[in-house]
Structure 1
Amino acid sequence: MIKHLFKLIWNKKKQNFLLITEIFVSFMVIFAVFTLVVNYYQNFKQPMGFEYDRVWVINYQSDVKIKDKDSLDTYYKTMLGNIKAMPPVQEVSFASSNVPFSANTHMNNADYKKVHVNRVNYYTVGDTYDKVLDMKLTEGRWFGKQDDAATVKPTIINQSLRQQLFGSGKAIGEKIGAEGSKRSVVGVVQDVKAKGDYQEAGLAMYERIDTSANDGRGRILVKINDKADAAFESRLYKLMAGNSNNSGIEIEHLTDKRKSANNLTLVPMIILLVVASFLIINVALGLFGVLWYNINKRKGEIGLRRAIGASGNSVSGQLVTESMILATLALMIGTFFAIQFPLLNVFGLAASVYLVAIALSIIFIYLLVLVCSLYPGKQAAAILPAVALHEE
């Protein structure tokens, strides 16, 4: 039976080739959609690694003319102290411009012995940054006053970077970085999804802000209690604006920034889903039309089969099986190309993402072809032998 079906398919190879090509293209588009969906889903399942519900961001531009380092240190600590003294404030910290859910990104490299890691997110933070965001330390400690006299600058890394640099070995106390700019690892924190729910945490390195210098800041993170309202936000703004050295002041809520970051992440997937939906509809209509055309062209063949005793279910099953064989041929070609993505580590995604996407795409295409072939198969089964042979 299968041999006979392959012979029928080969006899109409030109027509079937176009159908196989259409199914193949559909598979590749569906594979791209499922890869994006699976990747986002796996990232979404991972914990955020910090708390953002009651954290505000103060954006400001500082034009401080103080040259003396001790005076500058006192100036910035006084600024933080004034904010923390406000009743609804629980904690406050300086931060660089790449605060959570912002579009700003600072990248650097990390080296340890012969291991070189690229694309490490680089954060400059204050001594209370972890308390503002409730970050979880898994090893070591956070920055503190003991680092003021450190001969080697301290750094804190996340778990993903720790795994790449040290594996299962010791991390605390090890020196990372290029010669002349070594950093001593003093702590390891849980991965933080700083770009939204659907983006991976990536690799991260945290360095301590030097409050005796004017670089490395531009943002202040403020953790507030549930009593903070619009009136408090106005008072906070006036406090910052009252400092003649500050300008361009803007207060944002991390909850709002998270929504914006998530929406921006979902835009490519929505566009791809719209394109894929149109393609799927076209493939379904094309497949349905081809099968319907085949039934009309093969009425004599179907009538002859029915006349010699073939049942309606047998005729219907033949047409459905032919469609599934064509789908299988297209999927074999599509899977060959799709499997290259995990083998070549394209886009740096985990191999499991591609493998799950391939499996889901195969199931989807089979279901699509099955649904599109059932009704034409049913119509073929309803053809009466006498009518079909009479028309011939």
Structure 2
Amino acid sequence: MKKVILGLLVIICMLGMINLRPLLAQENITVRDMVGRNVSVPQDPKRIICIAPGTLRLIIYLEAKNKVVGVEDIEKKFPATRPYWVANNELGRLPSIGPGGPNSIDKEPDLEKILAVRPEVIFITYMGYERAQSVQRKIGIPVVVLTYGPFGTFNEKVYDALKLVGKVLNKEARARKVISFIQDFQKDLLSRVEGFPENDKPSVYVGGIGFKGTHGIESTQTIYAPFEWVKAKNVAKPEGKKGHLFVDKEKILSWNPDFIFIDGGGSQIVKQDYKKRPDYYQGLKAFRNRRVYILHSFNWYMTNIGTVVADAYAVGKVLYPKRFNDVDLAKRADEIYTFLLGRPVYEQMSRTYGHLAEVPAYLK
């Protein structure tokens, strides 16, 4: 029975799409998606959906949210955690296209819900070649696979994703502007720290990093973009493994970094642990000297790129105050969010995570 219903929905969807756009007037282009599939898509489609981590964010960056006709349930949950949703939460009124979330990665989505909203193109991240082919065959709608690169950090593959989506949605000029915007900030950050003596740099560590859930101080990253962009001396970087890393708490004691940054997503776990084990934390000079600072969580349903940039300025202002003395963190964050998302949301994000570069209240 379910197959019969699905078949009827396919027919209804196709008829609806014909009504939406006369078949003879519809022009198609062929694009190569990010798993190497050649996909024929309508040029500048009017109805799209976004599935899996990070997909909707890219559409919003490209100022194409008006084309979105349905959203995942996960997008409507935890509404204060992701800047793109805070800035565009009216999308929550759109129909559901399935649960979404990390457990849905590279799984067949809810085809009935997808067909019910009659998209012309499906954008999806982290789906394998064969599964994408299968989904496309079953429902007769182009599936374009995207990627941000490895989970949990910033990777320049996201630029390729922006270019690909821009080509499909006739937003190539906007894609170029977004990429240049991010790269210009990277250049500014690096130029501010250029020539700073390596021997004078303090050692740093970031804890509380989210990775398939929230974690405490032992959750870190060896390649942490806000550190990389200001050439900070990350004590975890020499560990060899790239990306996320769980470290033994005794290892953090042995590193004993000069400064510790706490990801806002894990800050409550760190706070609770601090109250249970104050002696451990007092063994860390950063905690003794109150050189512990809050950053906003950027790894939430893939990388919130604007938050990466804002966090990097916060790190720079803490570590190199003279070189960042002209930067107002709230204004800089809202400059970033306004360009990428359409409006300023720094204050809303600060209500969730705390203010950038703020010393946690339990240490004051």
TM over 0.5: no
Bigger fraction of residues in strand:
1
TM-score (norm 2): 0.23
User: Which of 1 and 2 has greater Rg?
Assistant: 1
Bigger fraction of residues in helix:
1
Which structure has more RCO (C-alpha within 8 Å, separation ≥ 6)? 1
